[in-house]
Amino acid sequence: MIDNNRDIIILGIESSCDDTSAAIIRNNLILSNEVAGQAVHIAYGGVVPELASRAHQQNIIPVVDLAIKKSGISMDEITAVAFTRGPGLLGSLLVGTSFAKGFALARKIPLIEVNHLQGHVLAHFVKEKSVEKKLPGFPFLCLLVSGGNSQIIIVRDHLDMEVIGQTIDDAAGEAFDKCAKVIGLPYPGGPMIDKLAKEGDPKAFKFAKPKLPGLDYSFSGLKTSFLYFIRDRMAENPNFIEENKADICASLQYTIIEVLMTKVKQAAKETGIRTIAVAGGVSANSGLRQALLDAAVKYNWEMHIPAFKFTTDNAAMISITGYYKYLKGEFASQDAVPYSRVSLK
């Protein structure tokens, strides 16, 4: 039987892609959240899975060690260890999964598996010392936009979520990154496009927007239209990219945001839910944040936007999900193997 009156301290491990992260949470209060990025991928213009796994192997022990030291707790106080089981790159996930299993066995503590996507959503429930924040009330809608996913989710409870719309091809982050590559920007291109877009005219160029019924997304047509647009303009003027970089970025970003926002507004209208949250790496985008805030004023939404450090991959979100699963007694066995693809439901 779980004693819910004592403090629950969860070590969270995230290794689904190219960030190795470890975090310690006491109940829902974050004590530490360490992330080691992997610069090795920049030269290749994208994440190289084999190199990611190797870097996780090198990073995992130092990152966990630092997270424990910075939290101020001792290893003996850790109640359970939570790890990202998927979705993600299999080799990367194996590193975090194997580490968590070994840690749980050695410390004789429970093991908790976490769905990475659920983690992104529950990042909204992480509390920080001396930061006042209102937590989203249930039910709420969450726009989850990252490098691998674009989804609209109804969140009925911490562990009760339903995907009501998702991309049928590329994710929004992929659209940012692949288009950025076309104009010669380094990986990941999303943050760079965001920065350059601030100086540009969002209406300078027009790109194809998908016309999908329902709440699903599609970004592959936009990517192709962007590629052909740049190819044609470069044929006319080889300096086209250099001379128009800010306008190109602003117009591309404007289009991606328009696509995302159209379905969020539709979802809010269809479900009648007016508490809206955003999560995932692309939620760091300043244009998207502004578009959501503007819509919140216009449609009377209660808007929840996470702190930047909780938008991209981090273990704080794995720890908080582990905390809610611990409260429900949802534990994993030592047989748990990572999965590369999985949806929330």
Residues that bind ligand KG4 (CB under 6 A): 17, 146-148, 173, 176-177, 188-191, 194, 280-282, 284-285, 312-313
Residue 48 Cβ vs ligand KG4, minimum distance, rounded to whole Å = 15
What are the tokens at 261? 């926002």
Residue 311 Cβ vs ligand KG4, minimum distance, rounded to whole Å = 7
Using the minimum distance from each CB to ligand KG4, give the nearer residue, 26 or 263. Answer: 263
Report DSSP letters for 37-98, one per residue: --GGGGGGTS--HHHHHHHHHHHHHHHHHHHHHHHT--GGG--EEEEEEESS-HHHHHHHHH
Encoded amino acid at 117, one letter: L
Using the minimum distance from each CB to ligand KG4, give the nearer residue, 189 or 322. Answer: 189
Residue 191 Cβ vs ligand KG4, minimum distance, rounded to whole Å = 4
How crowded is residue 7: how many other Cβ atoms within 10 Å of its Cβ? Answer: 10
How crowded is residue 53: how many other Cβ atoms within 10 Å of its Cβ? Answer: 17
Indicate the residue whose CB is closest to ligand KG4.
281
Using the minimum distance from each CB to ligand KG4, give the nearer residue, 23 or 284. Answer: 284
Residue 250 Cβ vs ligand KG4, minimum distance, rounded to whole Å = 12
Residue 316 Cβ vs ligand KG4, minimum distance, rounded to whole Å = 13
Q: What whole-number distance in Å separates Cα of residue 45 and Cα of residue 149?
A: 19
Using the minimum distance from each CB to ligand KG4, give the nearer residue, 79 or 283. Answer: 283
Angle at Cα 340 formed by Cα 263 and Cα 143, nearest 5°? 20
Q: Half-sphere exposure of residue 204, counting CA atoms within 13 Å on the CB side?
A: 17
Sign of the dihedral defined by the CA atoms of residues 215, 221, 223, 229, in that order: negative
Using the minimum distance from each CB to ligand KG4, give the nearer residue, 91 or 191. Answer: 191
Q: Which of 307, 36, 282, 258 is nearest to 145 (CA)?
A: 282
Residue 215 Cβ vs ligand KG4, minimum distance, rounded to whole Å = 20
